[in-house]
């Protein structure tokens, strides 16, 4: 009789747990593109930030479906996007290209899932927030089910630009970027390493050799002879700062660096400033690290930013050729804050704001 009551008690306990799970909010996260360069960084950032979840799903290309992936010492099976749709995640983070996002983001939206998209597919849609959490998370509303992650070069730029712009205004900006091959993807890394090892079978992603070279072309050329990458910087910065007429021009260059984008930025501010005040503003900016000590040869470099979530700024100095001119050198890991970290930060804020997950 006692054994019967004991097992009945166990059954009731598990029925209670099942009932609770039905009525409480289960946090389900989906990672789309989990095996790519950005996807792998997302897994690292999820673990580093200890992002809470009850269930997590991983998706990749069709050839990867059914394969295993290890996350936090646990084995998961890579699923298809249609399968994960039936599981109804709360938040899905996409890093699988524009075509996938254009097809599937609306489907996830239909089931009430927030999509944080790392492609360029939705960035310039008028009703889609383009978000860097430290700057403009408030543009996300309860029904903003598709949220765009900005371009990697744009993110690190506006992280440093925003507090200066907010304080002094901005008349004009000139940006030159020096972008790592990881910004193009895995095959670009293999091209660079293959050229260094004289491997004739290495992929050919770029129209010219990248080792010991600089290629003044990131993405395809447009009708105005700027590349898509250059115009992303222009248009996305204007949208994030909510200033559609801001005067910006950009030149994007691919350089033989594995990871970490660098930017030379020239600003014409709206009013007078002191360099010491600029530095103090940046010292106080969350997510920004000032590395500026020329006498000791201290300045940001990709090798120092690798694997870091912060944006680094240095070479802060007055442009003496123009009134209220300022020069900056900005560096960040393009796979981290430029992609994975920013997306995960958005997801964390979504959990806090709309799911009461702390």
Q: Which active-site residues does the annotation give? A: 152, 261
Q: Is 262 helix (H, G, I), strand (E, B) or coil?
A: strand
Residue 339, both tokens: 């992609």
Q: Which two tokens stand for residue 115?
A: 């999509």
- Within 132-290, residue ranges assigned H as helices are 133-136, 152-168, 186-196, 228-240, 275-283
Distance between CA atoms of residues 9 and 307, nearest Å: 50
Take residue 159 and report the two structure tokens written for it.
Answer: 């992280």
- Say if CB 64 and CB 94 are below 8 A apart: no
Where are any strands of DSSP class E within 65-157? 68-71, 74-77, 91-94, 114-117, 146-148
In the structure encoding, which two tokens stand for residue 229, read together?
A: 């990458």
Residue 340's contacts (CB-CB under 8 Å, 6 or more residues apart) are: 38, 39, 41, 42, 44, 45, 95
Sign of torsion, CA 213 216 221 225? negative
Distance CA 235, CA 291 (A): 28
Q: Is 301 left (phi over 0), alpha (psi -120 to 50) or beta?
A: beta
Q: What stretch of H or E contains 120?
A: none
Sheet of 114-117, strands arranged across? 55-59, 28-32, 91-94, 114-117, 146-148
End-to-end Cα distance, the chain: 45
Closest CA to 54 of 30, 85, 35, 86: 30
């Amino acid at each position: 009789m006692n054994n019967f009551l004991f097992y009945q008690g166990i059954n009731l306990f598990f029925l209670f747990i099942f009932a609770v799970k039905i009525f409480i909010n289960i946090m389900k996260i989906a990672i789309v593109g989990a095996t790519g360069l950005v996807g792998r960084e997302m897994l690292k950032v999820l673990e580093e930030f200890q992002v809470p979840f009850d269930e997590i799903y991983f998706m990749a290309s069709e050839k990867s479906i059914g394969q295993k992936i290890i996350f936090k010492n646990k084995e998961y099976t890579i699923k298809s996007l249609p399968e994960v749709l039936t599981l109804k995640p709360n938040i899905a983070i996409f890093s699988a290209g524009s075509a996938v996002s254009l097809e599937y983001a609306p489907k996830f939206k239909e089931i009430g899932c927030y999509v944080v998209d790392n492609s360029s597919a939705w960035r310039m849609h008028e009703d889609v927030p383009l978000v860097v959490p430290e700057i403009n998370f408030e543009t996300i509303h309860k029904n903003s089910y598709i949220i765009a992650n900005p371009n990697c070069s744009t993110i690190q730029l506006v992280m440093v630009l925003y507090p200066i712009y907010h304080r002094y205004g901005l008349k004009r900006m000139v940006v030159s970027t020096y972008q790592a091959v990881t910004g193009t993807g895995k095959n670009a890394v293999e091209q660079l390493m293959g050229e260094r090892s004289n491997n004739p079978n290495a992929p050919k992603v770029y129209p010219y050799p990248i080792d010991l070279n600089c290629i003044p072309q990131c993405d395809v050329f447009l009708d105005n002879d700027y590349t898509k990458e250059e115009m992303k910087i222009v248009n996305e910065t204007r949208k994030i700062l909510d200033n559609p007429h801001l005067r910006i021009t950009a030149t994007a260059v691919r350089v033989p660096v594995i990871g970490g984008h660098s930017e030379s930025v020239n600003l014409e501010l709206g009013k007078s400033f002191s360099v010491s005040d600029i530095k103090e503003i940046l010292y106080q900016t969350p997510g920004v690290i000032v590395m500026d000590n020329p006498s000791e040869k201290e300045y940001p470099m990709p090798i120092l930013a690798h694997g870091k979530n912060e944006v680094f700024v240095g070479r802060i100095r007055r442009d003496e050729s123009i009134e209220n001119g300022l020069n900056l050198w900005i560096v960040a890991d393009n796979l981290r804050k430029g992609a994975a970290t920013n997306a995960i930060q958005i997801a964390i804020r979504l959990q806090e704001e709309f799911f009461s997950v702390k």
